Amino acid sequence: MKASILKKLNQTIEEANALKDKKNCEKALKKLQEAINFINLKVKEPKDKQIEIENIKNVMNQTYSVQINTIIQEAITLTSQKEFNKAKDIFQNALKVAENINDLDLKDAEIKELNLLISENELEQTLLKGVKLRDEKNFDKALEIFNKELSIAEDIYNSGSKFDVFFKIKDEINLTYSSQINVLVEQGTSLKQSGNNTEAIKNFEKSLDLIEKYFEPGTKKTEVNNIKNLVNEIYSNQIKPLVEKGKNFSKQGEMETTVSEFKNALNIASKMLDSDLKNLEISLIAEVLNPIYIERIKPIIDNGNKIIEQEKMEESIENINEALNIFREALDIAKIMVNSEIKKRKIEEIKNFINKTCLAGIKVIKDKSLQYVVQKKHDDAIGELYSAVSLAKNMVFPENNNPELDNLKNSVNNIYTAVVEEVVNKGNKLVEQKEFQEAINVFNEALSLTNKMYLTDEMEKEVNMIKSLIYETEVKLLVGKGKLSEEQKVKEKEIKRLKKRLDYANSIEDPDRRLEEMYKVKKMIDDVHSEEIRLFIEQGNQLAGDMMFDDAFEFFEKAIKVNEMMEEPDIKNKDLIKKSYKRELINKTKQEIDNKKFDNAIKSCNRAIELDEKFVKAYYFIGLAYYYKKRYDSAIEYLKKAVDFDNNLVKAWNLMGLSYEAKEEYENALKFLNNTVEIEPNFADGWYNLANIFKQMKNFEKAIDNYKKAIEIDPEFAKAWFFMGSTYFDNNDYRNSIKHLEHAIKLDSDLTQDVNPLIKNLKDVIDKLQESLSLSFINR
C-alpha cells in the first residue's frame, strides 16, 4: 500500500476517534464509512483491502458500543426521574444501534445487557404501582403485583445475571407485610379499647399468622411478644371476674357453681397464647379447682380399697371388676383436673390402684392356667389366659406399651405353639411313612390352629414353617405319583403367560405406571420360579435317596440356574439348594470311599466346596480319601482346613494324628492326638491311638495307661484290650498280657484266631515253669 494512501487513512481514523471520544458518535461513524469508501477506491491489493476494512470495522464496533453506553446513561437518568416510558423508548433506540455491530459476540453481549435493563425499567415502573397501592393500604393488590414481579425477577437472577431489582422487590414485599401487620395491630388495639374484644383478637391473631408465615423465626421477636401480650391481656381481663365470682360461691359453699365458674375461667385461659401470664392464670385457677376435685376423688378411692382389701378378692372376677369400675370413676375425675404436678401425682396413684388390682387377678388366673398346662388340658389353659387378657386390657399404660398384656399374649401363643408342635410331629411321622396326603391334612390342621394365635413375629415364623412343610409334602406327593413333570409343565406355561404380560407392561407410556406394573409382574415370575426350584430340589432329593446321585445333581444344577434367572435371586432358595446338594454330595462321597473310588470322592467334595467354601465336612472327607490313598501330606493339608473352620472337629484332629503316625512322625502324631482328647475326653479312639503311638515309641507304661483310659470309656473295645495285652508282653509282664489277650478274645473271637493257640501254649508253659520253680523252692 502506498505511503500517501496509508497517511490519508490514518488521518481519517484519528479524526473519527477524536469525535468518538467527544461522544459525537454519528460524525465518527460517518468518518469511518468515508475511510472504507476511500480504501475501496484507492487500495488495489485484495488482501491489504480486507485487513484495513476489518480494522476500521473494529473501530466502528467500538464506536457503536460508546454510542450505546451514552444512550443507556440517558435512559437510566430518565428511569431515576420515574420517566419509565421515555426510558423505554431510549432503550429501543439503543437496540437499533446494537443491530449495526458486525462482531456477533459483542452484538449479543450488548443486546443481552439492553434487554436486562429494559426488564429492570419495566419492573421498576410496576414496582412503583405496588408501592402506591401499599401506601393506599391496598395490601393484597400490592402483594399480588410484587409477587408477580418477583417471579419474573427470580428467573432473570437465577440465569446468572446481576439483577439488583430482585432484592429490591423482596425488600418491598417484606415492607408490605410489615405495614399490613402494623395496620392490623393498630386496628386491633383500637377495637380492644372500644370493647370489641372478639374482633380485636381476630386482628391480633391474623398479624401473628402473617409474621409466622412470611418472616424468619426470631426476626420480629419484639413485635410477636407485644401482640401476644395484647391478646393475653384481653383474656386475662375476661378471667378475673369469673375467678372472683367463683371465690364468692366457694365461700357460700355452693361448690357446683364454684366449679362451673372456674371451668369457664379455665376455658378462657386455655385460649391464651403461651406466656408467663397464661401459666400464672392457670396455676391460680388450679389452686382453687384441684382441691375440690381431690375431695371428690378421696371417698371413691376409699370405696375401691375396701373391695380389694377383702379376703381372697383376687379369686373373684366380679369383685375385681367392681373395684376397677370404682377406680376408673376416680381416674375420670382426676383427668379433668387442671394441669399441675398434683394432677400428675393423683393420676399416677389411681393408675397404680388399677394396675395392682388387675395384676392380683391375673396372677391367680395364670397359676390356674399353668396347672392345666401340666395336665395337658390346653383348651382349659387357653380359656383361663383369655380371661387374664381381658383383665390386662383394663390396665393403664401408654398406648401399645402394656407389658403384662404382651406377656399374656405370648403365653397364649406358647401353648398354641406346643399344640401345633405335637400336630406337626404327627405330620412329620406320616411323611416318613410316605403317607403324604394324610400328612398334608395334618399340617393344614396345624395351620388352622395358628389362626387362633396373636399376631407376633414368632407366630409369623410358625405359619411360614407350616406352609413350607405343606408345600414340601405336596411336592413329595407329586413325585410319589409321578406327576412332577406335569407340574413343571404347568410352571413353564405360567412363566410364558407372565412374560407376555411383562411385554405389555413394558409398552405402558406412563413411566411411573410402567415401572410399577413391570415390578409387579417380575415379582410374580420370581414367585413361580421359587416354586419351580422347590420341585427341582425335591426331585433331586428323591433320586439321591435311591442312590441315583448323578441324576439328582442335574436337578440341583437346574435349580441353581433358575435361581440365577430370577429378577431378585432368593437367598432362601439358594440356601435350600445348597443344603440338599451338599448333603447328597457327602452321601455320594461316603459311598465312593466305601467302594475305594477315592478320586471320585475328592471330586464330589470339591464340588461341595465350590458351593460353600467353609463346608467343613467336604474338607474332612477329602482328607480321609487322601489318607486311604496313603497321600498323607495332602490328607493333613485338607484336615487342617477342616479344623480352621471348626476347631472342635475331633475326628479331623484324630485323623491328622494317624496321618503323622503313618509318616512315622510320632511327636507330631502325639500333638494332634492330644488335641483330640483335650476337646473330647470321652473319645475312646483318641486314647487308643495315643497308646498305639507310645507302643511304637517303646514307652510301654504310657501306652498301657492310654489303653486303660480307652477301655474305661468303652469296656467292650476289643482292640484296646488286645493291644494292651500285647504291650504287657512287650514289657515282659506275661500274666497281665495273657489276662488282657484272653479278655479281647472273649469280646471278639475273630480278632486273634492265629494268636489264640499260642496264648494257650504260653499259659501252659508259664504254669509248668511256676510249678517247677515252686518245687525247687520246697526242695531247697
Q: What are phi and psi of 569, to 5 degrees?
A: -50, 135
At position 583, the amino acid (one-letter code) is R
Band of pLDDT at residue 485, cut at 50, 70 and 90: low
15/27 Cα distance (integer angstroms): 10
166/149 Cα distance (integer angstroms): 9
Tell me the DSSP string of 122-150.
Answer: HHHHHHHHHHHHHHTT-HHHHHHHHHHHH
Average pLDDT over residues 175-196: 90
Answer for the pair 58, 51: CB distance below 8 angstroms, yes or no: no
For the purposes of burial, counting CB atoms within 10 Å of the CB of 268, is it exposed (0-12), middle (13-18) or buried (19 or more)?
middle
461/464 Cα distance (integer angstroms): 5
Answer for the pair 232, 197: CB distance below 8 angstroms, yes or no: no
Q: DSSP H helical segments within 194-275, as ranges? A: 197-214, 221-251, 255-271
184/174 Cα distance (integer angstroms): 15
pLDDT at 12 over 90: no
Does domain 681-780 correspond to CATH entry 3.40.109.10?
no
pLDDT at 690 over 80: yes
67/24 Cα distance (integer angstroms): 8
pLDDT at 361 over 70: yes
Average pLDDT over residues 108-125: 85
pLDDT of residue 777: 55
pLDDT at 482 over 60: no
pLDDT at 143 over 90: no
pLDDT of residue 751: 67
Answer for the pair 603, 588: CB distance below 8 angstroms, yes or no: no
pLDDT at 481 over 60: no
pLDDT of residue 633: 95
pLDDT at 649 over 90: yes
Higher model confidence: residue 610 or residue 13? 610
Q: What are phi and psi of 615, to 5 degrees?
A: -80, 100
Domain ranges of the chain: 3-182, 240-396, 681-780
The string of pLDDT tens digits covering residues 292-318 is 999 999 999 999 999 888 888 888 888
User: Rg (Cα) of the chain, in Å, rounded?
Assistant: 51
Higher model confidence: residue 673 or residue 524? 673
Mean pLDDT score across all residues of the chain: 86
Please give the torsion angle defined by the CA atoms of residues 486, 491, 493 and 495, in that order, rounded to the nearest 10 degrees: -170
Band of pLDDT at residue 472, cut at 50, 70 and 90: confident
For the purposes of burial, counting CB atoms within 10 Å of the CB of 545, is it exposed (0-12), middle (13-18) or buried (19 or more)?
exposed
529/534 Cα distance (integer angstroms): 9
Tell me the DSSP string of 725-769.
Answer: HHHHHHTT-HHHHHHHHHHHHHH-TTTTTTHHHHHHHHHHHHHHH
The string of pLDDT tens digits covering residues 745-775 is 888 877 656 665 666 666 666 666 666 666 6
